[in-house]
Amino acid sequence: MRQSYLFTSESVSEGHPDKVADQISDAIVDLFLSKDPEARIACETLTTTQLVVLAGEIRCKGVYENGAWASGAEEEIEATVRNTVKRIGYEQEGFHWQTFRFENNLHGQSVQIAQGVDASGNKDEGAGDQGIMFGFACDDTPDLMPATLYYSHRILQRMAEDRHAGTAPFLEPDAKSQVTLRFENGKPVACTAIVVSTQHAKGYDQGEQEAELHAYVKKVVADVLPAELLSADTVYHINPTGSFEIGGPDGDAGLTGRKIIVDTYGGAAPHGGGAFSGKDPTKVDRSAAYITRYLAKNIVAAGLAKKCTIQLAYAIGVAKPLSLYVDTHGTGTVGDDKIEAAIAGIEKLGGMTPRGIRTHLGLNKPIYERSAAYGHFGRAADGDYFPWEKLDLVDDLKAALA
């Protein structure tokens, strides 16, 4: 393991076009799960200049059954989409929540996929697709996340809060951040570079107004990052192209699932390839990625390792995972094979089948739109929200490994 190096992660704001698409897709997931906890949803969203398009496969009692929409369902879907864009804050000529053109191309789930996933007779509920999923945790930050991503997210969260509160009226919804840290002995010791590109009001690309925007961004960075990481040697690139008035879906088309590294670990850990947003929790792309994060976080919190990567693999229609892999990167206090055996023996995890994961974490609830911006991981567990961030498996792991 390298001990001295530079590492960088990026984040994007809720107004980034791909994140607009993710939030719309997850708003649809939440809408359907609020009607039917067993709903099946795979909702993809395209955003571009004055246009939002939905596509995908669904099944939902009281909303879409037997190939037909229930009365008022399509209108409720459109209202959900428009309200999501309104919440983000788009009221621009090139993308306005009231006036964009909307297309709903959602249709029924394939019966051949459904027969593989649904429980029947002696067959348990199967995985919604094949695939590999990874979870990760490390002791860089209190939330056990990679520091570079942790700070990248929080810079943009703070800017969005200020924008919504009206204390930074020159900000518009679209933004990106990037944080580069220098690590010594595996720990972050200095921030060498900060990149922030933010959509702005007219005129904030020159003169005193540009200086005001730059000073504001530096103040946010100083509030978010620990003071000991920043110095006169930290290099700032703030709106390095000069002007960023045209942004959001008007500046660049957005698609669900294009920011999967932002959603997970900022490149500090492997990614299985599947996106989360727009999918109900029978899709192991989502639920198994959540349980692996939950396991990795609890392992690190239990003091069993300083860093942990976990992989699960599934076959479509098959309930039990094909493999479980634990890697503590040489930081474990016990053997990785012993941790694997301990996980496999914890009964309340339900064998990490799709049903077991959903039951243990309580995933059949409308809890997903909140996760669709600023990362699915490293967030505070809050009631039904972000249950995969709970540390309620620590004692079980310690007992299993005693």
Residue 263 assigned to a binding site:
no
Backbone phi, then psi, for 349, in 5-degree steps?
-80, -10
The answer to whether 253 is a known catalytic residue is: yes
Closest CA to 16 of 244, 265, 264: 244
Output the six-digit token pair for 251. Answer: 């500046």
Contact assessment for residue 150 and residue 143, using Cβ atoms and an 8 Å cutoff: yes
Report how far residue 71's alpha carbon sits from residue 73's, in angstroms, rounded to the nearest whole number. Answer: 6
Contact assessment for residue 128 and residue 284, using Cβ atoms and an 8 Å cutoff: yes
Output the six-digit token pair for 88. Answer: 């983000």
- Residue of 55, 190, 201, 253 with catalytic role: 253
- Residue of 154, 258, 297, 355 with catalytic role: 258
The answer to whether 285 is a known catalytic residue is: yes
- Residue of 124, 205, 245, 252 with catalytic role: 252
The answer to whether 396 is a known catalytic residue is: no
376: helix, coil or strand? Answer: coil
Residue 202 assigned to a binding site:
no
Mention every residue, 6+ apart, whose C-beta is less than 8 A from residue 333.
Answer: 303, 304, 305
The answer to whether 360 is a known catalytic residue is: no
Residue 57 assigned to a binding site:
yes
The answer to whether 176 is a known catalytic residue is: yes
The answer to whether 57 is a known catalytic residue is: yes
The answer to whether 365 is a known catalytic residue is: no
Residue 271 assigned to a binding site:
no
Residue 398 assigned to a binding site:
no
Q: At what angle do helices 354-361 and 284-301 cross, to 10 degrees?
A: 60
The answer to whether 377 is a known catalytic residue is: no
The answer to whether 259 is a known catalytic residue is: yes
The answer to whether 18 is a known catalytic residue is: yes
The answer to whether 7 is a known catalytic residue is: no
Angle value at C-alpha 199, between 151 and 148, nearest 5 degrees? 15
Residue 279 assigned to a binding site:
yes
Residue 44 assigned to a binding site:
yes
CB atoms within 10 A of CB 107: 12
- Residue of 100, 244, 276, 377 with catalytic role: 244
The answer to whether 16 is a known catalytic residue is: yes
- Residue of 10, 18, 129, 250 with catalytic role: 18
Residue 252 assigned to a binding site:
yes
Residue 26 assigned to a binding site:
no
- Residue of 16, 40, 163, 376 with catalytic role: 16
Residue 338 assigned to a binding site:
no
Closest CA to 95 of 28, 36, 50: 50
Residue 174 assigned to a binding site:
yes
Q: Please report, in range form, the residues annotated as the binding site for ATP.
A: 16, 174-176, 252, 258-259, 275, 279
Annotated binding site for K(+): 44
Binding-site residue numbers for Mg(2+) are 18
Give the residue numbers annotated as catalytic, written as ranges: 16, 18-19, 44, 57, 176, 244, 252-253, 258-259, 279, 283, 285
